[in-house]
Chains A and B, each alone.
Chain A
Amino acid sequence: AQSVSQHNHHVILSEAASLELGCNYSYGGTVNLFWYVQYPGQHLQLLLKYFSGDPLVKGIKGFEAEFIKSKFSFNLRKPSVQWSDTAEYFCAVKRNDYKLSFGAGTTVTVRA
């Protein structure tokens, strides 16, 4: 079955540590890729997106993601996290039928 996989369910790290969240998808053909973030008590909001061109995409709050087509991956990175990055992160893929499929989410806890 076609799916979006996020490798880590819960990540705990200290402030200033580097963060990388894995995302793999199994859809063939052209896809559009997204990372959404849900901060505690807030709406789900877009962090960054990839449609075409440079596979390294920069988003808000210092996040970036790299699309590697050969690996069907779209991993999210941040070089130095802050306590305020504590949130749940969702990878999503826009399929050929233009519907969004979401991964299960990764909860990130940053310790001060």
Chain B
Amino acid sequence: DGGITQSPKYLFRKEGQNVTLSCEQNLNHDAMYWYRQDPGQGLRLIYYSQIVNDFQKGDIAEGYSVSREKKESFPLTVTSAQKNPTAFYLCASSIQGGGDPMDEQFFGPGTRLTVL
């Protein structure tokens, strides 16, 4: 069953702690993305990766870090530098990323992070 998995579904952390959110895809997609969803603000791009071992900052990268060591995995670390980390985080993937306007993004189920 192909798709994107994100774990865990709910995550609680104390303020000041780093936390890593998992995203795995078995769609053989080259490109992967992380978005943050806040009520009334839609989705905002945090980081994206068009190929293994390469990634770029999105619109709101401050306080976040990523790695792309494997094609199927794109973990996101929310660091203590992120001022408002409580949010719903969505991971997405697409066949090849930039350059193809018809490239469609597929989304995972999301992780709801609450920082206490």
Contact with B along A4-23 (1 / 0, CB 8 A): 10100100000000000000
- A4 near B102 with CB under 8 A, answer no
Chain B residues bordering chain A, tally (CB within 8 A): 25
The residue in chain B whose Cβ has the minimal distance to the Cβ of A94 is B101
Residues of A17-51 whose CB lies within 8 A of B: 30, 32, 36, 42-46, 49, 51
- Contact among A43, A90, A104 for B40, CB-based, below 8 A: A104
Q: If A98-B98, A99-B48 touch, does A44 touch B90 (CB 8 Å cutoff)?
A: yes
* Bound Cα distance from A72 to B100, whole angstroms: 22
* Bound Cα distance from A57 to B33, whole angstroms: 26
Residues of A within 8 A of B98 (CB): 97-99
- Summarize A's interface: helix, strand, loop or mixed: strand
User: Other CB < 8 Å A-B pairs besides A32-B102, A98-B103, 16 of them?
Assistant: A32-B101, A36-B107, A42-B109, A43-B4, A43-B110, A49-B104, A51-B101, A90-B42, A92-B43, A97-B98, A98-B99, A98-B100, A98-B101, A99-B59, A104-B40, A104-B41
Interface residues in chain A, defined as those with a beta carbon under 8 Å from any beta carbon in chain B: 4, 6, 9, 30, 32, 36, 42-46, 49, 51, 90, 92, 94, 97-105
